[in-house]
Amino acid sequence: MLNFVNYPDWISPFIFTSLPIRWYSMMYIVAFFVTYILFIRQRTKGYISISNDDTLTLFLYAITGLIIGARLFSTLLYDGSLYYWTKPWLIFWPFQNGRFVGLPGMSYHGGLVGAVAGTYIFSKRYKMSFLHIGDILVTGIPLGYTFGRLGNFINGELWGRVSDVPWAMIFPAAPRFSTNYEWVRTFADSIGIEYELGQLINLPRHPSQLYEAFFEGIVLFLFMYFVIQKRRKYDGYSIAWYLVGYGVFRFIIEYVRQPDSQLGYIIAAGSDSSTTAFFLSLLNISMGQILSLLMIIFGIVMFPTAKRLHAIKMSKETKGKSKKHEHNRKKN
């Protein structure tokens, strides 16, 4: 009896077989649209006062920053080579070998930094509270993010580590393992995969894209939208919760997600890679976990910082009202 799931062969990364338009790109558009609709919904409920024109401008700044940041992190930080460092003009060049390929490779953490930068620039230019705008945005972002991870699944990329759980999946593009290794043969025998000695075989992996879509997307959205939004005490409160919430989910899920092949584990303290224990070791830390840990720390620090900024703002407003009242009293 087979103890794994094959990746659905009816799924194609392309929307149209005759055009290089991928579902992944479409999912990005859906993600932006969903976040925009949720932002409008919160504006209708009175959580933020901003015009339609300014809302569109805000999303233009944030999305532009997101794409730039996601691409820069992917090529300069996650690539693992000096290719884009020595040829920076190719970072945003959508062609390879004369073919249109778009912008393959986008980093979530880079997208976050870029979106923050874009939103900050907007808030300064239009004289709005950066923290307040950010609070409204992060409430809806997780649901949009869900579609991005579904796009990764449709692309058959960013798969998880080797696993024997019943729902583990064999991804066609995943790297294969040589049956010359005893652990590969033992693993294949345990889940019912037939092979010949010396053959390279594909082993089932965690569908980590779906884990992320569910926990970092749906679960985090429900928490942010229905719990945190109603309890927001000061500007920056929701942002802090988002950073901690996403960071925790991502850090944990990274233990079942295969790290980028060009980077591997940043901290590889586990056992030898020729055993199954290597894929289960909690001592192997990826780049995604390091960046997620930084998110958690930044979110925790942000709670008292945002609260203090709120207290200072309230103090200034109180003093301003007192001075105005005193001025009116003397005038009368």
In tens, the pLDDT along 42-90 reads: 999 999 999 999 999 999 999 999 999 999 988 887 776 778 888 888 8
pLDDT digits (tens, 9 = 90+) for 221-251: 999 999 999 999 899 999 999 999 999 999 9
235 within a domain of the structure (yes/no): yes
Nearest alpha-carbon partner for 69 in 21, 130, 120: 120
320 within a domain of the structure (yes/no): yes
258 within a domain of the structure (yes/no): yes
Q: Count of CB atoms within 10 A of residue 187's CB?
A: 22
269 within a domain of the structure (yes/no): yes
Residue 148 pLDDT greater than 80, yes or no? yes
First-to-last alpha carbon distance for the chain, in angstroms, is 91
Q: Count of CB atoms within 10 A of residue 198's CB?
A: 8
Q: What pLDDT, on a 0 to 100 scale, did the predictor assign at position 270?
A: 59
267 within a domain of the structure (yes/no): yes
* Domain encompassing residue 182: 5-11+158-331
20 within a domain of the structure (yes/no): no
Mean per-residue pLDDT of the chain: 88
How many independent structural domains does the chain possess?
A: 1
> Which of helix, strand or coil describes residue 257?
strand
128 within a domain of the structure (yes/no): no
Dist CA 160 CA 191 (whole Å)? 17
Confidence of residue 325 (pLDDT cuts 50, 70, 90): low
Prediction pTM value: 0.88
Per-residue b or e along 116-138, where b marks 16 or more CB atoms closer than 10 Å to that residue's CB: bbbbbebbeeeebebbbbbbbbb
63 within a domain of the structure (yes/no): no
